[in-house]
Structure 1
């Protein structure tokens, strides 16, 4: 590659091209190149207007991730954007692909913006615990108005070009395949029509509504606070926009810089940056050569048309992959297809999908009652009842009908994949694909490699996860893999805490106050209490020495209170409502259980609830790392942030443990473990060793 930025000429139009693959990130070389090319164009009297664009697949991204964590090097992005805005000649940003973060700030520094149809723009810094720091909080309100700007920046989601035009962020959307052509054409029209400079900083009309109505900002702040769940940066964004409304542009830029530095110093920023980089790292499987090529996947199949099976079938259809949905019972198959149709119809009614798209996706789902009919699929995902006997029976049938090289995956959340694979003559083709319910919504995908899973199968699962829009991690085989194994420890403590005197609502309140979207018992009610109850029964029946003892939650399930789907679980639910309500019947059941066990209930402080639930989770994570089930602590964090609602701004359980201090966690766990009946809380050897050495999970090498 040559220079990161170059100046070219098309007659009287100067074209500044950024070429910094893969996403034209705004690293130091790009920032320096932009200033140099701008100065060169300003000095060339033959150049009457400038077009700024990105080469390759996109306009420009934001900061270069290779500069994260390093001291900033001039020129700084705010100075580059200011220089573009102060240029003597009209400037046009020609946008294709995406203009995100600093990329959009560069575009807003231009006088005009034109985009290809299909392009997207946005300021997603909030997802990293930051706010736009190169004038974005001051320029966006001057283009789109205060309410829209706050919504865009605090939501962090990119806007399609059509919406960007409607809001005034982009001046024109053009059909075509060449950003250069539409940019140059737009610039020539500007010159022909006598258009002049139009600095974004000088625009004021979009701010008039907020300046005339002080309640507008107050309402926006209240809305952001209500959905931010204690996050810092969304409210700092509102503060920055308020500076745009209350003062002049220079004062607003100064205030933006102060707030940006405040966000940079926040622990939330550290947690979100960790979550971001961990997710990128999780895509790389240790020990898997980069030369291993994935197998082609053009056709999928799903076994089972229940809740999980239909959800997984929709995941494939949503990604444009044809998928067989197999069920052995015709009425069950019909119900499954109807569930899929109703889900898509719901999206249509809410304006999230067009009727034509509904028809397209439904056509991709091919119902069948015949195993022989799915034999040519490249991958099949089994999603039947969580029983080893049932799953081995299914895999024996799949082994007989699937073509050579087809991947045989199980959606099991707990069972031993190697035992399942042993029933086939192709264990190298067997792996786990553990989707989370509802599968078409939840982002996490736990891919599980067995003892004999082939390298190209592992590569295929990770690549396929990306195609399906999932965040994937690779785990080894053990009970519950990574996420559920840790969740079971949190659940064990939650059950015990209630037996000892806490109420389910008290336990759940501690977890939601921490930042989880729902507590342990509300989560069980949502997922179905019968699921865990049947798994515990299976484990006890099989003689599993680690199977949990009977508990009061089993009694709840035995009464047919399976959660929201039956209208009653640990909590009661009013018709049509998902709001959990304390239920006197369950309170009486718990009281009877305590009496039967000879337990005198005690008042349990929120701190003990927090420590026992979360420290037990971390402790199990340490064991998972010791056993090599997860390759990195960051993979565990990815699983919990994307699959279990761990607050992303706290980074994940292992990062949070490092931030909390492993020595404090070991001391607390040791204290609890010395109490009767709590030996299971003894600190894991890895956790204890790291605490002694003054190190953290972040210091561990990959497994």
Structure 2
């Protein structure tokens, strides 16, 4: 019988089965909570029932709270009330888990008296990824069932564990046969009844906590080991404090402490920023102007031209997804070197236990090397990753035009160059698209997908789907110099370079960006990437500090130095040589040195980036402000807890941003002349979120 629109109640023998079905992921909405509570009430009032089974239809167990309810008035019963009803039930409650039990879903399962799961199921508390902590007892119950050390790792990482691992650590009591959850769960429930098993409440367990009492170093060591990973984020420290409370406070007091810290995080800007990015990544996958039923082209075999760092990483991305790749380079030596690096990367991963030895051979087995572009004639997609010069890329595409099959997608990995000009070297510009991977390509999540003025809709749709296949975040952008990411980077670069000429040191600029939350500063990043990327020795004319450093053989970390000096282990120190180059160049340009404070560095760099982002929106190169945020968070290290440059600007308030830009324009240069979009939005009382 129906409990409500999403829940049904039926009795099999002595077991009441309450089934929830609220697609797509059985999120714990008000209707789902009411269904659980109503089903439990019916089971408790039914004298023929001696146990209750809680199970879900569809692809998953409860996959978490209904995030759309955040910030809205609560609807009864709230999650904690439902948990108390389950936990205090006078008949055994068994949670039957398939798919994923995440967040509130796992917290519901932890209030059942027993848990059974199919081997493919996963359990986890991923709230940290949204700048939150588990707010329904997860920080108090999980340590009591798996121990302090495991709880610290599971909750601060947010990573789910397999049902088999959950069984081993005591989180799951039984494993069901795959595909036979309901029947096995009923058998287990009847065993609980027949054996008259007790009503085991996780909240009352103390054995796993006792193992950690008198060992304060557990928390100190954990904080120290993860200091770099947690830097800047508030949620991990709040989680640690809550888990500490399991040893220091009675359960109900720990629960109240958890609720207090949850509310603080939920109301803070960090969680708002991380939730913004969560939704922004999903929004980026939606393509405006292209019908949902646009056909997706099959990608069965891929060709990659260029066996260097980028080409090798791109080839690995496809091999990792199980797609056969032909890697082409004009030189036997370069090809051999590239394949050797790829194998070395895989073997290093296997040594760390992240891959099996047989997986190394399997991935290398679908990767073929060649020195002939003719071997790409049967590829569905061909990506060039050659030197960043227009004439070289056009030469490659002209050759491809005569080799690639008629329906092949021709892609360029260019970072800056005009997609349409590259496509003009072919007789089929509609087949040309930009697939801008980020280095290292097999690791970085971002894939900028650049549409040319002629690029076909099915090729765009296929490229966006391909990003998901590769496990990347695809963002569709327009064709302009540097697209979205590098165009904003160029604005940052201009200010960073001007600042060091005016008196700031590279390390001072880098410190401001690092303190803001970037993983490294601007000049550290330049040295890491290589100052010679895109530099042409023949055309070099000592017209910038970077050119002079390159002419001196200072290409960054890979040489004796760049903006910094490096030892044999690539540890950096401020460089007197680079500083003298900077000062001499500034003097030659007639730029006087002065003291520059951190506030000026921060304002000039960040507001220049925001202003450039606004111009990209106004020009239609970026479709949404949130797309810009996704690009910068996933590809350039903008701290996730600051939500991206456009979100950060909205947080400052666009009227304040406009005022700051005008002030910077008056004091420094017209580089800060406010984008017309900012002026329009301010006049209309809107923010970037409305653009």
**CA distance in 1 between partners of 2:527 and 2:173 (Å):** 49
* Residue equivalent to 1:503: 505
Decide whether the 8 Å contact of 1:78 with 1:134 is kept in 2. Answer: yes
Compare 177-186 and 99-108 and name the one that shifted more. 177-186
Q: In the TM superposition, what are the counterparts of 1:627-646 in structure 2 within 5 Å?
A: 627-646=619-638
SS at match of 2:535: helix
**Residue 108 of structure 2 is aligned to residue 106 of structure 1:** yes
SS at match of 1:502: coil
Q: Using a 3 Å threshold, how does the CA distance of structure 1 residues 339 and 593 change in structure 2: closer, same or farther?
A: same
**CA distance in 1 between partners of 2:227 and 2:85 (Å):** 35
Q: In the TM superposition, what are the counterparts of 1:252-401 in structure 2 within 5 Å?
A: 252-401=254-403
Deviations along 1:473-529, whole A, 9 cap, x unmatched? 100100000000000110111111001111100000000000000000111111111
* Residue equivalent to 1:544: none
* Residue equivalent to 2:616: 624
* Residue equivalent to 2:679: 688
* Residue equivalent to 1:243: 245
Compare 140-149 and 339-348 and name the one that shifted more. 140-149
**CA distance in 2 between partners of 1:444 and 1:204 (Å):** 45
* Residue equivalent to 1:551: 544
SS at match of 1:187: helix
Deviations along 1:21-60, whole A, 9 cap, x unmatched? 1111111111110111111122223332222222122112
Deviations along 1:393-433, whole A, 9 cap, x unmatched? 11122222222221111111101101111122222211111
SS at match of 1:434: strand
Q: Using a 3 Å threshold, how does the CA distance of structure 1 residues 534 and 683 change in structure 2: closer, same or farther?
A: farther
Q: In the TM superposition, what are the counterparts of 1:41-52 in structure 2 within 5 Å?
A: 41-52=43-54
Decide whether the 8 Å contact of 1:94 with 1:182 is kept in 2. Answer: no
**Residue 564 of structure 2 is aligned to residue 599 of structure 1:** no
**Residue 582 of structure 2 is aligned to residue 590 of structure 1:** yes
**CA distance in 2 between partners of 1:534 and 1:13 (Å):** 76
1:583 positional shift: 1.7
Q: Using a 3 Å threshold, how does the CA distance of structure 1 residues 556 and 401 change in structure 2: closer, same or farther?
A: same
Q: In the TM superposition, what are the counterparts of 1:440-459 in structure 2 within 5 Å?
A: 440-459=442-461
Q: Using a 3 Å threshold, how does the CA distance of structure 1 residues 213 and 675 change in structure 2: closer, same or farther?
A: closer
SS at match of 1:425: coil
SS at match of 1:288: coil
**CA distance in 2 between partners of 1:105 and 1:119 (Å):** 15
2:175 to 173, 180, 196: 173
**CA distance in 2 between partners of 1:394 and 1:5 (Å):** 60
Q: In the TM superposition, what are the counterparts of 1:88-103 in structure 2 within 5 Å?
A: 88-103=90-105
Q: Using a 3 Å threshold, how does the CA distance of structure 1 residues 580 and 532 change in structure 2: closer, same or farther?
A: farther
Compare 140-149 and 177-186 and name the one that shifted more. 177-186
Deviations along 1:66-112, whole A, 9 cap, x unmatched? 43443221211111122111122222222222111111111111122
**CA distance in 1 between partners of 2:102 and 2:536 (Å):** 47
**Residue 659 of structure 2 is aligned to residue 667 of structure 1:** yes
* Residue equivalent to 1:545: none
Q: Using a 3 Å threshold, how does the CA distance of structure 1 residues 558 and 185 change in structure 2: closer, same or farther?
A: farther
Deviations along 1:97-141, whole A, 9 cap, x unmatched? 211111111111112222222321111111111111111111111
Q: Using a 3 Å threshold, how does the CA distance of structure 1 residues 359 and 9 change in structure 2: closer, same or farther?
A: farther
1:16 positional shift: 2.2
1:147 positional shift: 2.0
Q: Where does structure 1 lack aligned partners over 5 or more consecutive residues?
A: 542-548
1:672 positional shift: 2.7
Compare 664-673 and 466-475 and name the one that shifted more. 664-673
**CA distance in 2 between partners of 1:225 and 1:582 (Å):** 24
Q: What TM-score does the superposition give when structure 1 sets the normalisation length?
A: 0.94
1:590 positional shift: 1.7
Decide whether the 8 Å contact of 1:224 with 1:234 is kept in 2. Answer: no
Q: What TM-score does the superposition give when structure 2 sets the normalisation length?
A: 0.96
**CA distance in 2 between partners of 1:567 and 1:114 (Å):** 59
Count, aligned residues: 689
SS at match of 2:10: strand
Q: Using a 3 Å threshold, how does the CA distance of structure 1 residues 598 and 243 change in structure 2: closer, same or farther?
A: same
1:248 positional shift: 1.4
**CA distance in 2 between partners of 1:532 and 1:654 (Å):** 28
